[in-house]
C-alpha cells in the first residue's frame, strides 16, 4: 500500500519530469506495489461538423496511434528514470475525446487457494461465457467488487494509511527488543 505522501512525491516527480507539451494538463497517476500507470489527455482531432460516430471513433483511434508513435522515445526515457527511482514498472495511456487507451501495462500474477464453493463461482462464470479461465473469472470478480465498493475501498485505504503513519511514529524495533530483554526487577 502506498501512502498519500509517497503518491504525492511520485505525482510531483512526474509533473516536473514530463515535458509540458506532451499532454494537455496534468497527468492522472495510479500507483501500486508493481506499477505506475500514467494517463495523459491529448487533444481531440478536428472533425467536420456532423461527423458520424464511426468517423469520430476512427479519428480518435488515429490520434491515439499518432501520439503513441511520436512520443515513444520521450516516454521510454521518462519511464526508465522513473523505474530506477521508484522501483516500479511504468505504463502509459491516453484519454482522447472521452475514450481511454492503455499502451502497455503489466498483469501481475496472484496466487490464491479457493475452496469448492468459491471455485464453483468461477466455474459458473466460465460456463456462462463471462470468462475463459478461472484466472480471467477471478479478475472479473475483482473488477465487479471494485466498481460497486468504491466508497468502502477508499475508506479502507484511508484507514490503512493512518495505520502506516502510526507505525512510523512508534518506537524502533531495536528499542522494543532491548526493553524486552531487561530483567523486570532492574526497573
Model pLDDT for residues 99-141, shown as the tens digit of each residue: 999 998 887 777 788 899 899 999 999 999 999 999 999 999 9
Q: What is the pTM of this model?
A: 0.66
What integer best gives the mean pLDDT of the chain?
87
Position 149 scores a pLDDT of 81
Closest CA to 40 of 103, 128, 119: 103
Model pLDDT for residues 81-90, shown as the tens digit of each residue: 999 999 999 9
Q: What is the CA radius of gyration of the chain?
A: 23
| Helices first, then strands: H and E counts in the chain | 7, 4
Position 172 scores a pLDDT of 67
Model pLDDT for residues 49-79, shown as the tens digit of each residue: 999 999 999 999 999 999 999 999 999 999 9
Amino acid at each position: 500500500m502506498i501512502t498519500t505522501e509517497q503518491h504525492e512525491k511520485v505525482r510531483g516527480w512526474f509533473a516536473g519530469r514530463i515535458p509540458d507539451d506532451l499532454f494537455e494538463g496534468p497527468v492522472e497517476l495510479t500507483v501500486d506495489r508493481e506499477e505506475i500507470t500514467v494517463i495523459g489527455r491529448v487533444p481531440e482531432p478536428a472533425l467536420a461538423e456532423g461527423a458520424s460516430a464511426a468517423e469520430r471513433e476512427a479519428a480518435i483511434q488515429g490520434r491515439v496511434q499518432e501520439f503513441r508513435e511520436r512520443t515513444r522515445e520521450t516516454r521510454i526515457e521518462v519511464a526508465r528514470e522513473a523505474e530506477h527511482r521508484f522501483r516500479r514498472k511504468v505504463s502509459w495511456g491516453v484519454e482522447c475525446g472521452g475514450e481511454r487507451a492503455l499502451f502497455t501495462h503489466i498483469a501481475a500474477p496472484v496466487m490464491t487457494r479457493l475452496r469448492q464453493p468459491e471455485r464453483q463461482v468461477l466455474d459458473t462464470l466460465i460456463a456462462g461465457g463471462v470468462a475463459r479461465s478461472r484466472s480471467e473469472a477471478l479478475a472479473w470478480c475483482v473488477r465487479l467488487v471494485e466498481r460497486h465498493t468504491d466508497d468502502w475501498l477508499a475508506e479502507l485505504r484511508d484507514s490503512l494509511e493512518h495505520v502506516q503513519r502510526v507505525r512510523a511514529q512508534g518506537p524502533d524495533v531495536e528499542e522494543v527488543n532491548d526493553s524486552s530483554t531487561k530483567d523486570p526487577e532492574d526497573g
